[in-house]
Structure 1
Amino acid sequence: MSLAHSSAASTSSAIPSPKGARNAKFAEFSTQALLPITSRPDLVFTHGKGGWLYDHDGKRYLDFIQGWAVNSLGHCHPVMRDALATQSGMLLNPSPAYYNVPMIELADLLAKLSGLGKVFFANSGAEANESAIKLARKWGQLHPNASGGARFEIITFKNAFHGRTLATMSASGKPGWDTIFAPQVPGFPKADLNDIASVEALIGPDTVAVMLEPIQGEAGVVPATEAFLKALRALTKARGLLLIVDEVQTGCGRTGTLFSHQQAGIVPDIMTLGKGIGGGVPLAAMLCGDEFAVFQPGDQGGTYNGNPLMCAVGLAVMRTVSAPGFLEFVRAQADYLSAGLQHLSSRYGGEGERGAGLLRALLLGRDIGPQLVEAAREMTPDGLLLNSARPNLLRFMPALNVSRDEIDQMLSMLDALLAKHV
């Protein structure tokens, strides 16, 4: 593992760039019209290619966030550009009340790849998870408890993240989310990840399903163990409960297999996909086994669900990710990145690294994550885009086709940052 600077990174350092001229240029773009839902730095991205983003001042940034695991193939990959260009000249949105060719082809491909026979397309991971919750509750109405009551409770997990609708926020276990838009949607008792006894203790007459992420991404890349996933699958089958796996962040090749749960050798009853399935366009999906497809016409829908423009891109992405050799490449790059992060952890007294595939976290051993993110962005001549899901760690979500040179450059830049801040 080489931590030497590549030629592109040889002049990079942790020295912030002069801000005066850059701020003056940024002022040309300033607006008061956008609702302030996040703290954005004073830069405007104008274009991207592969692993790189470019801002209004011409500065480039090595992107190891990639839209929070969204850009499976990096920025503006040719197969996505071609799919958008071709489909945009044919048909954009005939209405979800009718079939279209990309919708049919992508649904068939997902069913074949997952073993789950039915597919519902949505626009975001939260919408896909909302659909899974609705489907489980509908199934619970059709399969009531011993007293004849509809089953509606879905056991979820502390520190989980399932989206930002009222129902998916209620299903999430993110600290503090129970009061932001109170009252919550009821019916989501919280268990402890990797503690099967805590799940079993919550099962009651109203329980219809258990829902979890194979790796809790927002919690800091915290994996469910293989033993826990196997035990959970056995428990849900034994108790007549649905198992819902939220693969919004982990699916579509992110963890080195098409779907993360496959590494535990289990098959869920319902699975949700988002982020990587569209490679950067708004696309998501909820899949279920044929026997759980209990929606009736009118139960679920959406104006843009399954529109051919997004499905054409998703089809191009999924064909690329599932092509022979692609996942082997992802796993090889993941091993290389993991080894490099382990080296930096040992060098700077960290607490190791964890994750699967190209969803990884570096445990810093101290709460300096946000400072490192800001310092990385301000490096010159090239910036580095990182994420700190928790103050004591950094999360890495590069494109699945990230190169060894890009990994080396990121490690070299991170080395310089750690040398200054640790």
Structure 2
Amino acid sequence: MSTHDTFTQYVLPTYGRFPIVPEKAKGSYLWDDQGKKYLDFCTGIAVCSIGHCHPKLVSAIQDQAAKLMHCSNLYEIPQQAELAKTIVEDFVQTPGKVFFSNSGAEANEGLIKLARKFGNAKPASNGTPRHEVITFRNSFHGRTMGTLTATGQDSIQNGFAPILPGINYAIYNDLDSVKAQITDKTAAILLEPIQGEGGIFAATKEFLNGLQALCIDHDLLLMLDEVQAGFGRLGHDMAWRAIAPNVKPDAISWAKGMGGGFPIGAFWVSDREISNGVTLSSQLGPRTHGSTYGGNPLGCAASLAVLAEIKNSKLNDNVLAREQQIKEAVAEWNHPAIAEFRGKGLMLGFALNADTMTTAEGVTPALALVLKLTEKGLLTVPAGAETLRWLPALNVTEAEVAQALDLLKQALDELTA
């Protein structure tokens, strides 16, 4: 039985899978079971942040697996303590505490629970607990019941009614729309500094600063979803600093690239005082939240290796250099099929001019381009119907970027011929 037939018979069809059977990978390249070599600018959707099978990551996993892979969170896991310290001191650089999960959806569920807990600790003036969270249209926060509700896309929510009450949607980069959603029940605002699945739209500096001011005025939490954008993806330790470095978030979620391919997620909560010596981070105490696997020794050892490589090899500098390389090339092309170039760092979007492209019936412009690039040996991923997304490894080389640019231009030329 072929791999395709086995999938069809035994695996739930929750993904529209491309006809590729991965066999091995190294650095920025992946090989399928037929021996075809691909330049990978998808990287597991921003997961393999230091490339495939980086020797330092492989070694960290092997060494830790031979010692201790898992033990209960009822005990003090030294790797977890070290990773939390690294995140707080070297990346967030603001006093706070970290909870470890297995995925971005779990991390965002934790933020939603934090907002509810805060709203109970700081109720409305009539004593009623505040429970509402403002999120944004075209956002993406996960596919659990809580996070699909937080996700402002009907296509994600369809078929799962009734969804979680207490989520209200504003318009991204529109401060007036946020003001209109604030009530005496509002406890927090949750957003991505740059929307990934929604089409690679970055928040403006004015918008993030405006949200900060609203949160201060109305005693709301400002919570940032950096699951796809964090830990160097935008060329900065934290994604929000690439946009509005003076913002001071109350909580941040991560996953994807922080494990380099090993499943791990986390969220950070500020130590700031919320009332009479009580800190925000103290709101999630014993029995309020948990995870069997989150923060186990193996996952933490993997993440420590990844974050050390990002810091020690100064990958933020490489991200910014490669971003500039891509921007300059795209500007020089002035290609009719590219309506707009969006994004920051190595979280980039090519908004496509559908009117210039020839695609098969029922195939979106972004999917048509992804399929064409796959034929040519470049792995990419859509971000909506009309945007191509690039998420290469943070240590991708100048030569690899040049190769990807050449393949992209070839594909665009063929689709617009």
Tell me if both proteins adopt one fold, taking TM over 0.5 as the criterion. Answer: yes
Say whether 1:393 aligns with 2:372. no
Q: Name the residue aligned to 1:304.
A: 293
* Structure 2: tracts of 5 or more residues without a match: 272-278, 355-363
Question: d(CA) in 1 for partners of 2:210 and 2:187?
Answer: 17
Question: d(CA) in 2 for partners of 1:72 and 1:341?
Answer: 23
Instruction: Give me the CA root mean square deviation.
Output: 1.5
Q: Name the residue aligned to 1:148.
A: 127
1:89 and 1:352, CA in 2 relative to 1: closer, same or farther beyond 3 A?
A: same
Q: C-alpha displacement at 1:27, in angstroms?
A: 6.2
TM-score (norm 2): 0.92
Q: Name the residue aligned to 2:369.
A: 372
Q: C-alpha displacement at 1:176, in angstroms?
A: 2.7
Deviations 1:303-332 (A, max 9, x none): 101101000010111111123632112111
User: Which amino acid in the other structure matches residue 179 of structure 2?
Assistant: E
Deviations 1:118-177 (A, max 9, x none): 000000000000001101101111111111111110001011100010000001101333
Q: C-alpha displacement at 1:349, in angstroms?
A: 4.5
1:176 and 1:324, CA in 2 relative to 1: closer, same or farther beyond 3 A?
A: closer
1:52 to 5, 10, 29: 29
Matches within 5 A, 1:75-154: 75-112=52-89, 113-114=91-92, 115-154=94-133
Q: C-alpha displacement at 1:97, in angstroms?
A: 1.1
- Give the secondary structure class of the aligned counterpart of 1:53: strand
Question: d(CA) in 2 for partners of 1:128 and 1:177?
Answer: 18
User: Which amino acid in the other structure matches residue 389 of structure 2?
Assistant: R
CA contact (8 A) 2:143 2:156 kept: no
2:306 to 317, 320, 323: 317
Say whether 1:332 aligns with 2:321. yes
Number of matched residues?
Answer: 395
User: Which amino acid in the other structure matches residue 163 of structure 1?
Assistant: G
Q: Name the residue aligned to 1:197.
A: 176
Q: C-alpha displacement at 1:302, in angstroms?
A: 1.1
CA contact (8 A) 1:150 1:206 kept: yes
Detail structure 1 runs of 4+ shifted over 4 Å in the superposition: 24-31
2:139 to 130, 135, 160: 160
Question: d(CA) in 1 for partners of 2:366 and 2:182?
Answer: 38
Q: C-alpha displacement at 1:292, in angstroms?
A: 1.1
**Deviates most, 30-39 or 235-244:** 30-39
Question: d(CA) in 2 for partners of 1:30 and 1:305?
Answer: 28
Say whether 1:276 aligns with 2:257. yes
Q: Name the residue aligned to 1:236.
A: 215
CA contact (8 A) 1:341 1:362 kept: no
Q: C-alpha displacement at 1:295, in angstroms?
A: 1.1
- Give the secondary structure class of the aligned counterpart of 1:351: strand
Q: Name the % identity.
A: 40
Q: Name the residue aligned to 1:180.
A: 159
User: Which amino acid in the other structure matches residue 266 of structure 2?
Assistant: A
User: Which amino acid in the other structure matches residue 347 of structure 1?
Assistant: H
1:391 and 1:195, CA in 2 relative to 1: closer, same or farther beyond 3 A?
A: same
TM-score (norm 1): 0.91
2:41 to 60, 64, 88: 64
**Deviates most, 28-37 or 349-358:** 28-37
CA contact (8 A) 1:25 1:56 kept: no
CA contact (8 A) 1:261 1:267 kept: no
**Deviates most, 286-295 or 124-133:** 286-295
* Structure 1: tracts of 5 or more residues without a match: 1-23
- Give the secondary structure class of the aligned counterpart of 1:182: coil
Question: d(CA) in 1 for partners of 2:312 and 2:328?
Answer: 26
Q: C-alpha displacement at 1:338, in angstroms?
A: 2.1
2:340 to 344, 352, 358: 352
CA contact (8 A) 2:337 2:412 kept: no
Q: C-alpha displacement at 1:372, in angstroms?
A: 1.3
Q: Name the residue aligned to 1:41.
A: 18
Q: C-alpha displacement at 1:25, in angstroms?
A: 7.2
User: Which amino acid in the other structure matches residue 276 of structure 1?
Assistant: G
CA contact (8 A) 1:51 1:398 kept: yes
Q: C-alpha displacement at 1:342, in angstroms?
A: 3.0
Q: C-alpha displacement at 1:200, in angstroms?
A: 1.0
Question: d(CA) in 2 for partners of 1:363 and 1:179?
Answer: 26
Question: d(CA) in 1 for partners of 2:4 and 2:124?
Answer: 61
Q: Name the residue aligned to 1:417.
A: 411
Q: Name the residue aligned to 1:73.
A: 50
Q: C-alpha displacement at 1:246, in angstroms?
A: 0.4
User: Which amino acid in the other structure matches residue 80 of structure 1?
Assistant: L
